[in-house]
Structure 1
Amino acid sequence: MLHNKKQLACGLFALVSAALSSGAAHADIVASIKPVGFIAAAIADGVTPVKVLLPDGASEHDYSLRPSDIKAIRNADLVVWIGPDMEAFMPRIIGQLPAKKSLEIADLSDVKPLLMRGAEDHEEGDAAADHNHGVMDQHHHHGEFNMHLWLSPEIARNAAVAIHAKLLELMPRSKDKLDANLQYFEASLAQSDKDIEKQLAPVKDKGYFVFHDAYGYFEKHYGLSPLGHFTVNPEIQPGAQHLHFIRTQLVEQKAVCVFAEPQFRPAVIDAVARGTKVHKGTLDPLGMDVRLGKDSYVKFLSQLSSQYTSCLKGA
């Protein structure tokens, strides 16, 4: 009887050891914002779900973590985010996690050479903006670089490769599926890139203004012709001098479109565009209407491309 018990115990120990050595079957993945979730969900599709912290309609610039968010981060096996210059609500809680549980996209070695410098805060251009500069810094620190990294297809691909590597460490038993997901993501992104290039080609030379300085990576990648932005920080209204400059550009018909955003629909855009022939459109830099899934990132890029095209063509 004792011998049988020993055999049973040894057998159970061997099973547990094998399970542990083969990696977890499930991992809790948390993404800071939805576009980061799009990339993570593409790699994790059919393997493990991805939770996004930032709710639809909220801004990554001024979000405050809820108790449920903090719990989700602490319980996560992997947290994927852009970096402290984008998600100001993240660094304190991220600092409490083991380094292996955090993937900071802006800190990846193959992403750093691709970073674009950000616009300067003083572009707001008048005393009101200068007066509020201290308030601006409290809410959202604009670092040296533009941190809207998810709007670069190239950086998104590098992020996907890094997420794939992290998930392989967590779930090596799912290697075949994870490998297939990465291969699918890279192929669909390459095809989407060609399709978007073709879609945007007729409007590349048309000037426009965006609401805030978020789209540089997308614009550079596809060779678009932005004339400027209303504000660097969407929490701060643009100054009078800067608005006068934009108004002049619109009156002289150097711009064919001005873009608002679902997260920010300031009356200032309507006021500046009033009485001109400029069209008004909306760009959604967070993909509010896109659901997480295998194809969500390429759907997000395609939607953004259509938003540009529609307004620039005068639809």
Structure 2
Amino acid sequence: MLHKIKPTFATLAGLAFAASLTLPAQAAVVASVKPLGFIAAAIADGVTPVQVLLPDGASEHDYALRPSDVKRLRSADLVVWVGPEMEAFMPKAVGQLPAGKSIELAALPTVKPLLIRGADDDDRGHDEGAQAHDESGYSHHHGEYNMHLWMSPEIARQSAVAIHAKLLELMPQSRDKLDANLQHFEAELATADSQIESQLAPVKGKGYFVFHDAYSYFEKHYGLTQTGHFTVNPEIQPGAQRLHQIRTELVEHKAVCVFAEPQFRPAVIDAVARGTNVRSGTLDPLGTAITPGRDSYVKFLSQLSTQYASCLKGA
């Protein structure tokens, strides 16, 4: 009778080590915010894992890196971020990485011509005094351009191309899969772009207010008509002058909808719309309920489109 031989710990460890020698090395990708993780995950699908630095519910506007975050960044083979004007918490950590280990999307030659200007000066014109004073130390929009780059389908495509090129450098043995992933992403993006264009066509020209100035790229791409935004910095409530102006425009029916956000639901939005016929909706600029994966960026755009359309149409 044969007795079953139980493997010892040393045997198992030896087998694990031998297996590790035969497996291709994986290059972990770390994206600063979730929508960048969506784009990276589409290209890296089936090739290498993608992690998102900011946890759900955290704001890219005021996040502070934890020691565990710094460790993840240092151990990553590739870090994808927007730039210092968006993630003010990133430059020091990224600056300590070896050359070629990060992609700053706003600095890409293919992205720079697509940047559009921010709106902080416009906000200050509405709110002299306290709000402008408070924003003086806020770096998110103090650059020349709006940095919510993931809201642009075209910038997302250029970002995917850049991530694809960098992963090819890191993992040349995975060229076929990486090429197929990029081709799939571009095809799905083109299809979604056409569908969203059709979905939003009936609501072009309808005015609305968003909570903060995060959607300019999406709105410009699809021809939507934002009446205005409550604030540039979502951490600071809009001042009295700004609220009075918004209230006046709502009463005069210049807007049919006001949008809050999942992570920012200030009572001021409900208060300013009270007593009007203006509808309330929610826009999610970070895709908080979406899990990064092969088609997550397309899902993100489609979800955003549906959020716009449902409120503006009155559905």
The answer to whether the superposition gives a TM-score over 0.5 is yes
* Contiguous gaps of at least 5 residues in structure 2: 1-20
Deviation of 1:26 after TM superposition, in Å, equals: 1.1
| Aligned counterparts of 2:136 and 2:175: Cα–Cα separation in 1 | 49
Task: Give ranges in structure 1 of 5+ residues lacking alignment.
Answer: 1-18
Separation of aligned partners in 1, 2:266 and 2:241:
17
- Cα offsets for 1:53-98 (capped at 9, x unmatched): 0111111000111111110000010000000000011001001011
Q: 1:248-271: per-residue Cα shift (whole Å, max 9, x none)?
A: 010011100000001110111011
Contact 2:120 2:141 (8 Å CA) reproduced: no
Partner of 1:111: 111
Counterpart position of 1:271: 271
Alpha-carbon distance between aligned partners in 1 of 2:221 and 2:141, rounded to the nearest angstrom:
25
Q: Does 1:79 align with 2:58?
A: no
**Cα shift at 1:130:** 3.0
Structure 1 pair 51/293, CA: closer, same or farther in 2 (3 Å)? Answer: same
Please say if 1:132 is aligned against 2:134.
yes
Q: What letter corresponds to residue 80 of structure 1 in structure 2?
A: V
Q: Which amino acid aligns with 2:131?
A: A
Distance 1:141 1:201 in 2: 30
CA-to-aligned-CA distance 1:32-56 (integer Å, 9 cap, x gap): 0000000000000000110000111
Asked if the contact 1:25/1:174 (under 8 Å) is kept, the reply is no
**In structure 2, C-alpha distance between the alignment counterparts of 1:251 and 1:141, rounded to whole Å:** 30
CA distance in 2, matches of 1:209, 1:145: 20
| Shift, 1:136, TM fit | 3.3
Give me the identity figure in percent.
Answer: 75
Name the amino acid aligned to 2:278: V
Q: Shift of residue 141 of structure 1?
A: 5.1
TM-score, normalising length from structure 1?
0.90
Q: Distance in 1 between matches of 2:126 and 2:290?
A: 32
- Paired residues of 1:126 and 1:240 also in contact (CA < 8 A): no
Cα 1:214–1:102 change in 2 (3 A) is same
> Which residue identity lines up with residue 285 of structure 2 in the other structure?
P
Distance 1:157 1:133 in 2: 32
Query: What is the CA–CA distance in structure 2 between the aligned matches of 1:227 and 1:141, rounded to whole Å?
Result: 19
Aligned to 1:282: 282
Q: Aligned to 2:272, what secondary structure does the other structure show?
A: helix
TM-score (norm 2): 0.90
Q: Which residue of 2 aligns with 1:159?
A: 159
Contact 1:117 1:146 in 2 (8 A): yes
Of 239-248 and 32-41, the range deviating more from structure 2: 239-248
After superposition, give the CA deviation of every residue in 1:118-172 in whole Å (9 maximum; x if it has no partner).
00241451322133234435xx452110000000000000000000000000000
Partner of 1:229: 229
TM-aligned CA distance change 1:72 to 1:231, over 3 Å: same
The reply on whether 1:63 has 2:69 as its aligned counterpart is: no
Partner of 1:13: none
Corresponding residue of 2:175: 175
Provide the C-alpha distance between the structure 1 equivalents of 2:138 and 2:164, rounded to a whole number of angstroms: 36
| Partner Cα distance (1:214, 1:310) in 2 | 19
- Which residue does 1:298 correspond to in 2? 298
**The residue matched to 2:87 in structure 1 has which SS?**
coil
Opposite residue 131 of structure 1, the aligned amino acid is H
Quote the residue 1:10 is aligned against: none
Cα deviation code 1:86-122 (max 9, x no counterpart): 0011001001011200100000001000000000241
C-alpha distance in 2 between matches for 1:131 and 1:265: 23
Query: Which whole-Å CA distance do the structure 1 matches of 2:55 and 2:135 have between them?
Result: 27
